Amino acid sequence: MLEVKHLKKTFGDYTAVEDLSFTIEPGTIMGLIGQNGAGKTTTFRLILDFLEADHGEVLWEEKPINSQVYNQIGYLPEERGLYPKATIQDQLVFFAELRGKTKKEILPKIDEWMAKFQVKGKKTDKVKALSKGNQQKVQLIATLIHEPQLVILDEPFSGLDPVNAELLMDGILELKAKGSCVIFSSHNMDNVEKICDHLIMLNNGVSVLKGKVHDIRESFGRTRLFLESPLTAQQVAEIAGVETVTSREDGALSITLNSPEVGREIFQLATQAGYIPMFNQQPPTLEEIFKMKAGDRHE
């Protein structure tokens, strides 16, 4: 279990992280979101003891993180770094040995992990011969191949196409199933929503959202409505409580409400003649919430 308690870090007059606390239980995934400069990478460096906190503490299994537990950690920094002249195999063995594994333990796993991430190339190929995307996959494998109990990934999906992002998500979920604690940052709210159990949003170093993804979305109310019915956009726009109406290419209407209760009135009007193809009332997406909160100051 990872426990972060009242972390604070300043650089001169600038406060990068302010009174940040959270817990990650074994077998759970936490997403850390926020604009560039919100404090995500600083938080990771504080957890890993790369930076010294002004205040607060970080505990792993109820003890401070130090060199004795680094072998249980997998860390993917935002700034990627591989040895271009080394082979894939030598690269993976080297990083695994830094985490206390032996060559004998790792060699049998390399083919399996390369297949899992669909790396195009042979394990005897030099890293510089790989495409940028495949190099990124090798770095991800180097982070995960020793099956760490604590996984910290700084923008792991950056530069990955949807297929490869899905492969990475599968790898993260596999570690979760084995009991690892996972925390990652991402600007792709879709990925966060798909695999996170909990999330924290930072704004100027301060936590402004915290909790389960579903609970956070529901707390904003079901003010997004997708409708396919005999009602026209003009008819819907005239209903009190409707803020915006947009016609989609498929003929459905995308509607923003100022209150979830307005949806009931729209449903009654839309279904006067009976069946309608679509009535889908939802809370704002995580991306929409991100945009709302990113503009706020400390709350």
* pLDDT given for residue 162 in this prediction: 87
For the cut 90, the answer to whether the pLDDT of residue 69 exceeds it is: no
pTM: 0.84
For the cut 60, the answer to whether the pLDDT of residue 199 exceeds it is: yes
**Type of residue numbered 244:** T
Q: What is the rounded end-to-end Cα distance, in angstroms, of the chain?
A: 28
pLDDT mean over 94-101: 88
Q: Where are the beta strands (DSSP E) in the chain?
A: 2-11, 14-24, 29-33, 55-60, 63-64, 73-76, 150-154, 181-185, 198-203, 206-212, 224-228, 242-247, 253-257, 278-282
Residue 141 backbone phi and psi in degrees, to 5: -60, -40
Residue in 3, 142, 151 with CA at minimum distance from that of residue 73: 151
* pLDDT given for residue 241 in this prediction: 96
Residues 125-184 have pLDDT tens digits of 998 898 888 888 888 899 988 889 999 999 888 878 888 888 888 888 988 999 999 999
Residues 100-127 have pLDDT tens digits of 889 999 999 999 999 988 998 889 999 8
Could you give the CA distance from residue 292 to residue 218 in angstroms, rounded to a whole number?
15
* pLDDT given for residue 295 in this prediction: 66
Q: Is 274 left (phi over 0), alpha (psi -120 to 50) or beta?
A: left
* pLDDT given for residue 198 in this prediction: 94
Residues 248-266 have pLDDT tens digits of 988 899 999 999 999 999 9
Q: Answer whether 92's CB lies under 8 Å from 33's CB.
A: no
> 25 is written with which tokens?
């239980």
Residues 31-65 have pLDDT tens digits of 999 988 889 999 999 999 899 999 999 999 988 88
Which 3 state secondary structure label does DSSP give 4? strand
pLDDT mean over 234-239: 96
* pLDDT given for residue 133 in this prediction: 82
- The architecture that CATH gives domain 2-217 is 3-Layer(aba) Sandwich (3.40)
Residue 191's pLDDT band (cuts 50, 70, 90): confident
For the cut 90, the answer to whether the pLDDT of residue 7 exceeds it is: yes
* pLDDT given for residue 296 in this prediction: 58
For the cut 70, the answer to whether the pLDDT of residue 298 exceeds it is: no
Give the β-pairing of 206-212 and 55-60. unpaired
* pLDDT given for residue 68 in this prediction: 74
Could you give the CA distance from residue 32 to residue 196 in angstroms, rounded to a whole number?
10
> 92 is written with which tokens?
């993976």
Q: Answer whether 207's CB lies under 8 Å from 30's CB.
A: no
Q: Where are the domains of the chain?
A: 2-217, 221-282
For the cut 80, the answer to whether the pLDDT of residue 294 exceeds it is: no
Portion of the chain with pLDDT greater than 90, in percent: 62
Query: SS3 helix, strand, coil % of the chain, rounded to 5?
Result: 35, 30, 35
DSSP-H helix ranges across 55-127: 88-98, 103-116
Could you give the CA distance from residue 126 to residue 84 in angstroms, rounded to a whole number?
7
Query: What integer best gives the mean pLDDT of the chain?
Result: 90
* pLDDT given for residue 54 in this prediction: 95
Residue 276 or residue 188, greater confidence: 276
Q: Answer whether 236's CB lies under 8 Å from 245's CB.
A: yes
Q: What is the CATH number assigned to the segment(s) 221-282?
A: 3.30.70.980
pLDDT mean over 192-201: 92
* 157 alpha-carbon distance from chain centroid: 9
DSSP state of 284: P
Could you give the CA distance from residue 190 to residue 212 in angstroms, rounded to a whole number?
15
